[in-house]
Structure 1
Amino acid sequence: MARFSPLQWPVFRQVRTGDVFGRGPAVQSAHTKALTPRTVTADRVVQSVCPFCAVGCGQKVYVKDERVVQIEGDPDSPISRGRLCPKGSSSEQLVNNPLRQTKIRYRAPYATDWQDLDLHTAVDMIADRFIEARRNGWQDHDADGRQLRRTLGIASLGGATLDNEENYLIKKLFTAAGAIQIENQARI
């Protein structure tokens, strides 16, 4: 390793190169100059929409070896014009987090351990419970005989990681099922 010279200090480099305010290459270290952005090494760029709220900010997703390496705002998006909020900027972590659950986990009542379920079993369990809760909580008429046709046995709390279309379909599904307690995390 080469011996460090005081002439390489940023202040001396600023004076020597004429970069008096330290806003140019005088304040860059050799390590910083050698860095390349992850976006340069990407195999392809895919346009997407931020999954967190209903705004629909455009994103550019940089993919290398079929793995997301960076997500940035899309400057061509008429909605966000290349800007992302802190949640949108962290979308890459949503995809690549090593703690992300990729299997369906179920813990039976009073059980202490989780078990993995296949998709069909989990969907059947959810559908059976949904139908039973709707049936048990159904209100056809109120005390005065007015027609209600609703259920208080089911409710929906949508997540902010769903896009507009998914939230729209969830709202339609729960409304058609008779639910009146429908809310979204993004609004709370």
Structure 2
Amino acid sequence: MDVSRRNFLKLSGLSIAALAAGLGFDPAVAEAKGYVLKLEGSKKIPSICHFCSGGCGMLLYVKDGKLIHLEGDPDHPTNEGTLCPKAASLLSVANSPDRVIRPRRRAPGANHWEDISWEEALDIVAKKTKEVRDASWKAADEIVNAKTGLPESFLVNRAEGIAFLGSAEVDNEESYLISKFSRLIGTPYNEHQARI
């Protein structure tokens, strides 16, 4: 039997159409059932996107402690169910094998990173913060008085060697805590897109 390419495509199309008509195949129904099966047994958690200060609402679906799906929250007044490309990519960010989930340290002079415990990481940060704060502490500042031409001393009490640099991914509550911590350790350098 000699079948041309055109006749092969016609027969294939007719076969698929007959199969779909005979079995009642509806792509929309199949897609909806696949969606339901994917999310079955998962816990739906409303959340906020952390990429910018827009505060878009998201619905996270978690199964067995792992994020399996996310989508925009249609009931959220900011984004009404839509997500920008950065927010839509959060699923791959959460499940990336390259994501760092434990503290790591690269010792001075070393050529590799090593995993350390949270206690050890906090201890290192606390010691270094104290060391830099003590080395850069300024109790008073001398300014020459423009009228008299004499130097005057003003109490400033600040650590000039420490600064905090926030980002759009830091939410309001974290910004408040960073601001309070900056004041506590005495640094005036707290830069953020939403300074408190």
TM-score (structure 2 length as normaliser) = 0.72
Query: Aligned pair 1:168/2:176, yes or no?
Result: yes
Is the contact between residue 46 and residue 60 of structure 1 (CA under 8 Å) also seen in structure 2?
A: yes
- How far is 1:101 from its partner? 1.0
Residue identity matched to 1:108: A
Q: Distance in 2 between matches of 1:153 and 1:37?
A: 59
- How far is 1:171 from its partner? 1.8
Aligned residue in 1 for 2:103: 104
- CA RMSD, aligned part only? 2.9
Q: Distance in 1 between matches of 2:34 and 2:191?
A: 38
- How far is 1:129 from its partner? 0.7
Residue identity matched to 1:5: L
Flag structure 1 segments of 5+ consecutive residues without an equivalent: 14-29
Report matched runs for 1:8-19 at 5 Å.
none
Cα 1:110–1:37 shift into 2, 3 Å: farther
Aligned residue in 1 for 2:186: 178
Query: Aligned pair 1:158/2:157, yes or no?
Result: no
Q: Distance in 2 between matches of 1:149 and 1:78?
A: 45
Flag structure 2 segments of 5+ consecutive residues without an equivalent: 1-6, 18-24, 144-152
Query: Aligned pair 1:6/2:10, yes or no?
Result: yes
Cα 1:45–1:140 shift into 2, 3 Å: same
Q: Greater shift after overlay, 39-48 or 91-100? A: 39-48
Aligned residue in 1 for 2:57: 58
Cα 1:60–1:146 shift into 2, 3 Å: same
- How far is 1:37 from its partner? 7.7
- How far is 1:164 from its partner? 1.9
SS in 1 for 2:112: coil
The structure showing larger relative contact order (alpha-carbon pairs under 8 Å, at least 6 residues apart) is 1
- How far is 1:48 from its partner? 0.8
Cα 1:65–1:141 shift into 2, 3 Å: same
Cα 1:126–1:182 shift into 2, 3 Å: same
Once the two structures are superposed, what CA deviation does each residue of 1:10-43 show, in whole Å capped at 9, x if it has no partner?
xxx9xxxxxxxxxxxxxxxx9x765458752212
Identity %: 39
Is the contact between residue 52 and residue 168 of structure 2 (CA under 8 Å) also seen in structure 1?
A: yes
Cα 1:157–1:57 shift into 2, 3 Å: same
Aligned pairs, how many?
Answer: 166
- How far is 1:7 from its partner? 6.7
Larger Rg: 2
Cα 1:119–1:39 shift into 2, 3 Å: farther
Aligned residue in 2 for 1:148: 156
- How far is 1:185 from its partner? 6.8
